[in-house]
Structure 1
Amino acid sequence: MSQVLDTPPAPASPAAATEDAAALAARYGLSVSGARPTLSAYVRQLWARRHFITAFATAKLTAQYSKSSLGQLWQVLTPLLNAAVYYFIFGVILKTSRGVPDYIPFLVTGVFIWTYTQSSVMAGVRAISGSMGLVRALHFPRASLPLSYCLQQLQQLLFSMVALIVILLAFGVPPGPAWLLVLPALALQSVFNAGLALIMARLGARTPDLNQLMPFILRVWMYLSGVMFSLSDKLPKTDLPVVVQQAVQLNPVAVYIDLIRFALIDSFTADNLPPHIWAFAVGWALLAGVGGFIYFWKAEETYGRD
């Protein structure tokens, strides 16, 4: 009785196995889970979730002070108290108010506009790293998170702007057509903030220590942005080279602060503005907004998988 031994088939090479898997996926219309979509498809996905972004931002803002006795009143009190502290230190003790007409409206405007960017940056750093449960549980465009946090900070700013208008009127600053310039200035700043938040969200997802480092970087940035004093008045009195002085005046936050001061405060005239400031405002918004969005999108498939 003879026995025939069949030779087992040779194992498929990795390349062949990959080719077979790709063929099967194409045949049945399968795709890689969580793969990065094209840029245009990503934009469409975000637009389809615009209601989620808005609702998430509103819910976060409502819950922020829900356990406080004064509740949502802190949305106005917090920036006002910050402005009061800065006024006491810089306006009363250090006398930076000298030579600055309407110093209190000048200071409060700077504090409110600076706080908008500062809060957007810090929220962006924590947008992905602080929402890992949501990121790992659901499939959605991850840019929804930093954008919703930026929208939350914009809603916070709108509450502060009501208080700012009251302060302007109380200190004799009359309303005028120039106040309408606040709208394009804030729109450009919002695009800049969103782009910066997207950049920080990607960096923060990989480097948790960034959350501890950013307050120190932001503090230096605040002093370089003329929040408490007039850059056009103080910089010429320093020994800094002209190029450095121009770079300080044209840093993005200083640009947006100056534009909104120019719109709201009559005594803050065009002489206080650096040249071509609107062009720089648009340029910063496009650079951060478009660049930040693409930078964040390129790492879309890595969020929540580290």
Structure 2
Amino acid sequence: MSETAHDAGVTVGSGPSSPDDGLAPAELAAKYGLSVSGARPGLAEYVRRLWGRRHFILAFSSAKLTAQYSQAKLGQVWQVATPLLNALVYYLIFGLILQASRGMPHEVYIPFLVTGVFVFTFTQSSVMAGVRAISGNLGLVRALHFPRASLPISFSLQQLQQLLFSMIVLFVITIAFGSYPGLSWLLILPVLFLQFLFNTGLALIMARLGSKTPDLAQLMPFVLRTWMYASGVMFSIPVMLEGRPGWIADVLQWNPAAVYMDLMRYALIDGYGSSNLPPHVWAVALAWAVLLIGGGFVYFWRAEEQYGRG
């Protein structure tokens, strides 16, 4: 005689009850110490992890710098040739045709112009690299787990290395036009450090914006070109705006690109004295650097878990 499973008091497909039955997924995860994959860590922990990736950041920036002109026959020469050619074009248009050098002797204007081009290119390149830092490296972002801030920081560091190569040519030009090394040249180090902090903060901001809006990379060249013309790369802002309301010149001179250019010119060029600098220029340079690196880092960190998704 056979009995059905129901008659025997056995429920088919059921097992012994578990103490976890009825727990919500979040409660179950908390019970066993599970966490969301890719969840954003706390700010202090994020900084600690980022410091742990410092060797990766240095190696990645150096590799990118080496590969940047690997397909060109002149290779790394273009690191210096590109801003020099830009400076030559600006000199022909603004220096000779438009006479933007008014108030400055020839031996001052050429180092003035070349310094401005090199320093602004440092910020410009950092911004453009930052815009593409996440969107241009999605394969790396999705394949590996690491603090995403490593990417915009490494790209900003790459641009700093490129500027350091260019500075050799800049030194030759300033010496050729009569500005010899002196104690003021020591100011180059703090100027570069503050500008690097500013550029890195700006790159972090642009990296977050660019990760969601890839078309930003097409818009930024127009924004940067406008910023360049407003920053006195090719002319002295106070001289060019003479006779206009003073607050206009103050606003333009206190914009960060102009601040770092003026400080570099002051450090390198003998004929470019402190009278050409806006008041409290070092305090302004420090404030821009601290504001951007602090605010930019926090702004980028707050979207850490979103990068590479969607």
TM-score, structure 2 as length reference: 0.91
Q: CA deviation at 1:245?
A: 2.2
How many positions carry a matched residue from both structures? 296
In structure 2, distance between residues paired with 1:267 and 1:141:
46
**Rg larger in structure:** 2
The secondary structure found in structure 2 opposite 1:200 is: helix
8 Å Cα contact 2:102/2:239 also seen in 1: no
Report % sequence identity: 66
Contact 2:238–2:249 (CA<8 Å) still a contact in 1?
Answer: no
Q: Deviations over 1:118-139 (max 9, x none)?
A: 0000000000011111111111
Bigger helix share: 1
Please tell me the residue identity of whatever aligns with 1:58: S
CA distance in 1, matches of 2:261, 2:67: 29
Q: Does the CA contact (< 8 Å) of 1:232 and 1:273 recur in 2? A: no
The Cα of 1:144 is off from its aligned counterpart by 0.5
> 2:25 maps to which residue?
21
Matched with 1:13 is none
Structure 2 residue 101 is the aligned partner of structure 1 residue 97 = yes
For residues 256 and 25 of structure 1, the distance between their equivalents in structure 2, rounded to whole angstroms, comes to: 51
Unaligned runs of 5+ in 2: 15-20
**Residues of 2 paired with 1:146 and 1:138: CA distance?**
16
Q: What per-residue deviation string (whole Å, max 9, x for no partner) do you get for residues 249-299 of structure 1?
A: 100000000001001111111110110000100000011110000000000
Q: Comparing 95-104 with 36-45, which one deviates more in the overlay?
A: 95-104
User: How many angstroms apart in 2 are the aligned matches of 1:66 and 1:215?
Assistant: 24
Letter in 2 for 1:42: Y
1:282-293 → structure 2 map (5 Å cutoff): 282-293=286-297
Q: Within 2, Cα distance between the matches of 1:297 and 1:234?
A: 41
In the alignment, which of 202, 213, 216 is matched to residue 208 of structure 2?
202
In structure 2, C-alpha distance between the alignment counterparts of 1:180 and 1:56, rounded to whole Å: 29
- Contact in 1 for aligned 2:129/2:152 (Cα 8 Å): yes
Alignment correspondent of 1:64: 68
SS of residue paired to 2:132: helix
**Contact map agreement 1:109 1:164 (CA 8 A) in 2:** yes
- TM alignment of 1:1-306, pairs within 5 A: 19-101=23-105, 102-237=108-243, 239=244, 241-306=245-310
Shift of 1:5: 11
Q: CA deviation at 1:183?
A: 0.6
CA distance in 2, matches of 1:222, 1:234: 15
AA partner of residue 193 (structure 1): N
Structure 1 runs of 4+ aligned residues shifted over 2 Å read 1-6, 19-29, 241-245
CA distance in structure 1 between the partners assigned to 2:10 and 2:38 by the alignment: 46
CA distance in 2, matches of 1:245, 1:68: 41
1:23 Cα offset (Å): 3.6
- Rounded to whole Å, the distance in 1 between the matches of 2:271 and 2:306 is 50
User: Matches of 2:248 and 2:10 in 1, distance apart?
Assistant: 84
Partner amino acid, structure 2, of 1:249 = Q
What does the per-residue CA deviation read over 1:100-150, in whole Å, with 9 as the maximum and x for residues that have no partner?
231110000000000000000000000001111111111110000000000
Q: Which position in structure 1 is the counterpart of 2:18?
A: none
SS in 2 for 1:172: coil
What is the letter of the counterpart of residue 222 of structure 1?
A: M
Question: How many angstroms apart in 1 are the aligned matches of 2:178 and 2:280?
Answer: 29
Q: Give, in whole Å, the separation in 1 of the partners of 2:242 and 2:256.
A: 20
Cα root mean square deviation, aligned = 1.9
Tell me the distance in 2 between the aligned counterparts of 1:273 and 1:63.
38
What is the letter of the counterpart of residue 139 of structure 2? G
